[in-house]
Structure 1
Amino acid sequence: MAESLLFTFAESLIGKLASGAVHEASLALGVQADLQQMKKSMSLIKAFLLDAEQKKPRSSSLSEWLIQIKQVFSDAEDIVDDFECEALRKHVVNTHGGLTRQVRRFFSISNPIIYRIRMAHEIKDIKERLQKVAADGNTFGLQIIDQDTRVVHVTDTNYSHVNPSNVIGRQDEKQEILKLLLQHDHDGHDKSLSVVSILGFGGLGKTTLAKLVFNDTTIDECFPLKMWVCVSGDFELRNVLIKILNSALNPTNENFKNFETEQLQNRLRNTLQRQKFLLVLDDVWNEYQARWDDLKEILDVGVEGCKILVTTRSHLTATMMCTKSSNSYLLERLSEDDSLFLFVKTAFKEGKEERYPELLEIGKEIVIKCGGIPLAVKTLASSLFSVVGKSKWEAMRDDKIWNLPQKEKDILHALEISYNQLPSHLKPCFVCFSLFCEGSEFFSFYVAKLWEALGFLPPPKENETMHDVAIQFLRELWSRSFLTDLIELSHGYSFKLHDLVHDLAMYAAKGEFQTIYPRSSKISPNARHLAFSDNNLLDQAVIPTGLRTIIFPDEATNEAFFNTLVSRCKYLRFLELSNSIYESLPPSIGKLKHLRYLSLFGNKNLKGLPRSVCNLQNLETLNLNQCTELQQLPKGISKLISLRQLHITTRQLHFPDQEISTLTSLETLTFNSCDNLESLLKGIQLSSLKNLSLHDCGKLKSLSSHVISNLENLVIDNCCELELSMGFGNQIPDLRLKSLAFKSLQQLVTLPQWLQGSVNKLHSLAIADCNNLKELPEWLSSAICLKLLLIEYCSSLQSLPDNLKNLENLTINSCPELCKRYQPWVGQDYHKISHIQKVFVGELEE
């Protein structure tokens, strides 16, 4: 399906050809006419691509033509990016006149005359190749389609739980599952712990049905402790125990990944003691009896009436886990009437279907082809939401994919049609998900960095960030039912993919995006994006030179492979080395001049970075968080002129404030466990800095007041020596702060006075584990934008400000006096918060 990604690639490349850097370079090299001809040929080829995509090329000649296009476009992109790199280098040379001889030599790698000759030759070669493939396109009878008219209409989303009104045709099934979970085992068989399963093939809605049951009020009344775990293909005991513990109450936010298996077992059994619980194990594939027996022995703590609800596609799994055969519920397809009801509810705005009787008739035919599989019905219907053109409905009904042979329970064809209906700009973004394991939880800020590094996002509009653009793309994919479990967080979203949708991403990604698993096929020579699931696989890998992305597995150690990668793959954009255990990086990493993203998060062995890292002028994100042995940042970091995000853990005593002050693109700065720093950002201005986070910096005493005035988001966590007044006697007028979080600050008695300057901007305020906090200021009542307030583990806090009229979301937990006064319906001050839409007040301690 490579043709489905080419149109967006072509659009992006044509846009780059119009950039100022390319124009300047073309004049200097005398190749302006050649570049104009390249752009003309690309525009013609692009016009053919949408028709080629819609024809779903089955002939080898058309497929080969598309491969040739991909190759020549990739080579052209490399040249364009090279021009942009040279422009950045020139800027750095002009800005940093006092460079060492070594760095000057780096900028003079190519003799200017030789460089001009080489680039001019490559441009002419690409121009001729483009003209040839453009001419070849005429032989396939392809029509010219200049614009992608597929539009996404974003619908409202429901983030946290399944909405019962959106679940069609499963009420009887829900009641049957509830009956199985609530019944008593009168025969005494496995009286303390029984297992119920929901069995059915992919796409029938097993997880949705389980959620419907899980959130039912009768379940809340019957089971004091509820836990939900998505298991997927990983049934390794230690990993499952960690997931269960994380799903149970974890008030201290312990990191169970550091526990040994024996510790995990003991902690879980202690958690489950004396509590009747319901545990949902979603999407279980394990068919090994011994693995299940090991887990069951730990979970069976002798409490009567505890239940486990399992969803699985495997009859063997259901038989093995269920305590008796009658506890296995076989989920059937939706009826035709229910399927049509679901289709109409998804494809039309409420009550609008009667206006379009012709579309409704076509919809009935599409529904029949879906065979009663809810995922297929909903995904196809989502693609047609608010589309009133009859031709598009007919095209979906008559798509030739329906005629291809498929297994009875295979819905990939229906999902492929939905994928083909995606606007071209969403397809490469969606296919990126194939690089991650099935069942992965995604976070919008990470996905945004991946998409941005690969050039999949358009430039943001005024007052927008790249993350905002990525959020819009994610909402579009959600509206098409490609994402599930979308949950709004304080600064973005988390979400997952249905495993069949993940299969679709892998199917669409063939040849270009590839994840290497044990016993998987060899790396495609055309691969541009690679992820490795296991460190042992690195020895076997022959790396294509055109890689743009590589994601290393945890605990990667293979230095020979890493050195080969750096020397061969000079066009890398995204390099993920999180949780690796390399002690150093090769100096040659500085030659990765196209690199946009470099993460060394969690590398406990890394002691230093080579100075050549500072030659990465395109680098936008550098993550050194939790690199606990890192002695200091390399000198020359001021040359990273494109850097937008910098995350740091370092042992150095003095932070290079002056070098950082020259990073005019820097938007996000995070300090974590920088134990030796006593002051930060002294006497400098960072006008572009919007987000600042300080975590576990135990000796930090002062933070520059100049930095605070431009921030939009500020987090201060466990920095107990920090002077929170920041040297301000009064408020900062016109403070831009939108989000503030204070955590584990024993010096916090009342909010600092300067914060009042954010009264017209502050949107969310979170305070946790500040036991000496005695009051909140009354000016919070005048905070017109304050929507979210979270107070946890603040034992000295007695009351809230009156008249929090604009607040929409309030959480109070583990604050004894507050919980008592504001307890819903019974607290003496509950009437003061009863108007707030979402209120959670923790239970009173005994």
Structure 2
Amino acid sequence: MGTSPEYILEGLSDEDCHELLLKWAGCEKVGEQHVKLAEIASEIVKKCHGYPLAAKTLGSLLFMKTDENEWLYLKDRELWELAQNKRDILPVLKLSYDTLPADMKRCFLYCSLFPKCYEIEVDKLIQLWMAEGLIQSYINHELEYAGAGAGAGAEYVNHLCSINFLEKIRDQCGNLSNKCRMPEIIHDLAVFISEKEYKGIASYRSGIVIPEEVKHVSIHDSDCSREEVTKSLFMLMNLRSVLYFPSQGAGANEESFIERCISRFKYLRVLDLSDSCFQVLPRYVGNLKHLRFLDLSGNASMEKLPNTICKLYNLQTLRIWYCKKIRKLPQNLGNLISLKHLYLTTQQSCLPEKQIRRLTSLRTLGIEGCGNLTSLPEGIQLLTALTTVTIATCPKLTSLPSSMKNMANLRNLEISKCPNLNLSGWEHFKGLKRLH
């Protein structure tokens, strides 16, 4: 409280961190013999992110060491892999973690599965938490993030941002986007804690044996056919999450890997294969009876979805954005009775009304990149739980069903890149909290 503007306390500059690190390494006065060490130190300080204690921690590990190889070793290691004393950076940061509620701790540790600096869509992150049961769903549906709506999911994200465990990302115009990321040093903290205390949550790194207790695995930028990946991974029978982050150009060996994942891991709740490029999703994906979250977005090679996907009666989130070769949606889509969030791209001119109107649990509908779509079904008004509709890049769409104005729970309508869409009259629709 007060009338003065707040002062944002920034971290140290890289130059100041560099000076501090050299001081604690005993190389403050850089002589000719230390020039190369100082150059390596300029790379090491990138791990510090402005934290003075991080510079002190790393400098202390190099105290009185003049062998370049030891400095290079430290440069190439993750912070969480290094020995940590009580007063080092990660144990000190852990004090903030220790004050979090139990549910929020689990949500925070789940973020360790994402690669460093990965930009996470906030809605997707909360849907992942929900799929894993990290935050519970109640009848009033207020736990999930729904545009401007509050709820435990959004509150968790906001609180983690307030203590700098997550940071919101701004777009090119300086406005806050719907994405967040974990600062690198905080990512080290999450891995540090999950490795030592929460062995059920771990990210996979090539060459490391995955402990039997692990329930959640992510694979980053790795050839998924390599023996050290498959040998350790497929020994696990009770996995709950598989998140695959392929490197650019990956995909030649993805198909057999994905087939093995789907056939092997019967208890999956989360399967994230976004930005992969396999051609065929195995029919027996319908056997994953516990699956809550399936993301196939960004697949430029897959031509159709097996109708067996409609046997996933517990599925809460289905993301098939920008799967441009898929010509039509599965025939029995309406069987997904638990579906709450649907994000789709289709080449159909009309969505299948009989199937869409059966998705009575749906709260979020995202339609993007549908070049042939001319209309939405009138039966959409029967989706009484729907709170958010997002429509983007649908150039042939000319109007929205007038019946949508009768949807009492519709709060957010977001439209972009639909040049022929007539929205006259919608600006006076009192139910909307947000119209973009």
TM-score of the two chains, using structure 2 as the length reference: 0.74
Q: Does 1:515 align with 2:203?
A: yes
Describe how 1:117-196 pairs up with structure 2 within 5 A.
165-167=7-9
> Are the structure 2 counterparts of residues 332 and 610 from structure 1 closer, same or farther at C-alpha, using a change threshold of 3 Å?
closer
Q: 1:565 aligns with which of 240, 257, 261?
A: 261
Describe how 1:749-788 pairs up with structure 2 within 5 A.
752-758=424-430, 763-764=433-434, 766=436
Q: 1:704 aligns with which of 401, 425, 430?
A: 401
Aligned mates of 1:442, 1:653 — CA distance in 2: 31
Contact 2:413 2:432 in 1 (8 A): no
Contact 1:197 1:318 in 2 (8 A): no
Q: 1:713 aligns with which of 400, 412, 432?
A: 412
Alignment-derived partner of residue 682 in structure 1:
378
Aligned mates of 2:51, 2:282 — CA distance in 1: 56
Instruction: Answer with 1 or 2: which has the greater Rg.
Output: 1
Q: Does 1:630 align with 2:353?
A: no
Alignment-derived partner of residue 552 in structure 1:
244
Aligned mates of 2:134, 2:324 — CA distance in 1: 33
- Aligned to 2:245, the other structure's residue is in SS state coil
- Aligned to 2:367, the other structure's residue is in SS state strand
Aligned mates of 1:462, 1:427 — CA distance in 2: 24
Offset from partner CA, 1:79-110 (integer Å, 9 cap, x none): xxxxxxxxxxxxxxxxxxxxxxxxxxxxxxxx
Give, as a single letter, the amino acid of the residue that structure 2 aligns with 1:613: I
Q: Does 1:575 align with 2:271?
A: yes
Aligned mates of 1:331, 1:611 — CA distance in 2: 48
Higher relative contact order, chain-length normalized (CA < 8 Å, sep 6+): 2
Contact 2:255 2:279 in 1 (8 A): no
Contact 2:364 2:389 in 1 (8 A): yes
Contact 1:637 1:659 in 2 (8 A): yes
Give, as a single letter, the amino acid of the residue that structure 2 aligns with 1:700: L
Q: Give the CA deviation at 1:373.
A: 7.3
Alignment-derived partner of residue 153 in structure 2:
470
Give, as a single letter, the amino acid of the residue that structure 2 aligns with 1:521: I
Describe how 1:359-508 pairs up with structure 2 within 5 A.
406=84, 410-460=88-138, 462=140, 464-467=142-145, 468-484=151-167, 494-508=179-193
The structure with the largest helix share of the pair is: 1
Q: Give the CA deviation at 1:406.
A: 4.2
Contact 1:616 1:640 in 2 (8 A): yes
Q: Give the CA deviation at 1:198.
A: 4.9
Aligned mates of 1:681, 1:461 — CA distance in 2: 27
Backbone CA RMSD of aligned residues: 3.6
- Aligned to 2:7, the other structure's residue is in SS state helix
Q: Give the CA deviation at 1:408.
A: 9.5
- Aligned to 1:451, the other structure's residue is in SS state helix
- Aligned to 2:342, the other structure's residue is in SS state strand
Give, as a single letter, the amino acid of the residue that structure 2 aligns with 1:507: F
Aligned mates of 2:343, 2:260 — CA distance in 1: 27
Offset from partner CA, 1:225-257 (integer Å, 9 cap, x none): xxxxxxxxxxxxxxxxxxxxxxxxxxxxxxxxx
Q: 1:199 aligns with which of 2, 8, 18?
A: 18
Q: Give the CA deviation at 1:692.
A: 1.4
- Aligned to 2:153, the other structure's residue is in SS state helix
Offset from partner CA, 1:482-526 (integer Å, 9 cap, x none): 3345769999854333323211211222232222234x4122222
Contact 1:200 1:332 in 2 (8 A): no
Aligned mates of 1:525, 1:650 — CA distance in 2: 40
Q: Give the CA deviation at 1:684.
A: 4.6
Aligned mates of 2:397, 2:169 — CA distance in 1: 37
Describe how 1:32-181 pairs up with structure 2 within 5 A.
165-167=7-9
Aligned identity (percent) is 30
Alignment-derived partner of residue 392 in structure 1:
none
Aligned mates of 2:414, 2:138 — CA distance in 1: 25
Aligned mates of 1:331, 1:428 — CA distance in 2: 24
Describe how 1:271-350 pairs up with structure 2 within 5 A.
315-317=38-40
- Aligned to 1:716, the other structure's residue is in SS state strand
Aligned mates of 2:425, 2:95 — CA distance in 1: 58
> Are the structure 2 counterparts of residues 592 and 373 from structure 1 closer, same or farther at C-alpha, using a change threshold of 3 Å?
same
Unaligned segments of structure 2, at least 5 residues:
22-36, 58-82, 146-150
Contact 1:667 1:690 in 2 (8 A): yes
Q: Give the CA deviation at 1:318.
A: 6.0
Aligned mates of 1:683, 1:199 — CA distance in 2: 63
Aligned mates of 1:698, 1:481 — CA distance in 2: 40
Alignment-derived partner of residue 27 in structure 2:
none
> Are the structure 2 counterparts of residues 475 and 487 from structure 1 closer, same or farther at C-alpha, using a change threshold of 3 Å?
farther
Alignment-derived partner of residue 601 in structure 1:
297
Give, as a single letter, the amino acid of the residue that structure 1 aligns with 2:392: H
- Aligned to 1:474, the other structure's residue is in SS state helix
> Are the structure 2 counterparts of residues 464 and 437 from structure 1 closer, same or farther at C-alpha, using a change threshold of 3 Å?
same
Aligned mates of 2:84, 2:104 — CA distance in 1: 26
Aligned mates of 1:166, 1:411 — CA distance in 2: 21
Aligned mates of 1:509, 1:331 — CA distance in 2: 21
Aligned mates of 2:419, 2:17 — CA distance in 1: 50
Alignment-derived partner of residue 218 in structure 2:
531
Alignment-derived partner of residue 363 in structure 2:
667
Contact 1:201 1:409 in 2 (8 A): no
- Aligned to 2:202, the other structure's residue is in SS state strand
- Aligned to 2:92, the other structure's residue is in SS state helix
Alignment-derived partner of residue 390 in structure 2:
693
Tell me whether 665-674 or 475-484 shows the greater mean CA deviation: 475-484
Aligned mates of 1:532, 1:526 — CA distance in 2: 17
Alignment-derived partner of residue 68 in structure 2:
none
Offset from partner CA, 1:30-71 (integer Å, 9 cap, x none): xxxxxxxxxxxxxxxxxxxxxxxxxxxxxxxxxxxxxxxxxx
> Are the structure 2 counterparts of residues 698 and 567 from structure 1 closer, same or farther at C-alpha, using a change threshold of 3 Å?
same
Contact 2:168 2:177 in 1 (8 A): no
Aligned mates of 2:93, 2:343 — CA distance in 1: 39
Aligned mates of 1:512, 1:466 — CA distance in 2: 24
> Are the structure 2 counterparts of residues 709 and 515 from structure 1 closer, same or farther at C-alpha, using a change threshold of 3 Å?
same
Contact 1:658 1:684 in 2 (8 A): no
Give, as a single letter, the amino acid of the residue that structure 2 aligns with 1:199: H
Aligned mates of 1:320, 1:455 — CA distance in 2: 40
Aligned mates of 2:310, 2:399 — CA distance in 1: 28
TM-score of the two chains, using structure 1 as the length reference: 0.40
Alignment-derived partner of residue 347 in structure 2:
651
Q: Does 1:585 align with 2:281?
A: yes
Q: Give the CA deviation at 1:622.
A: 0.7
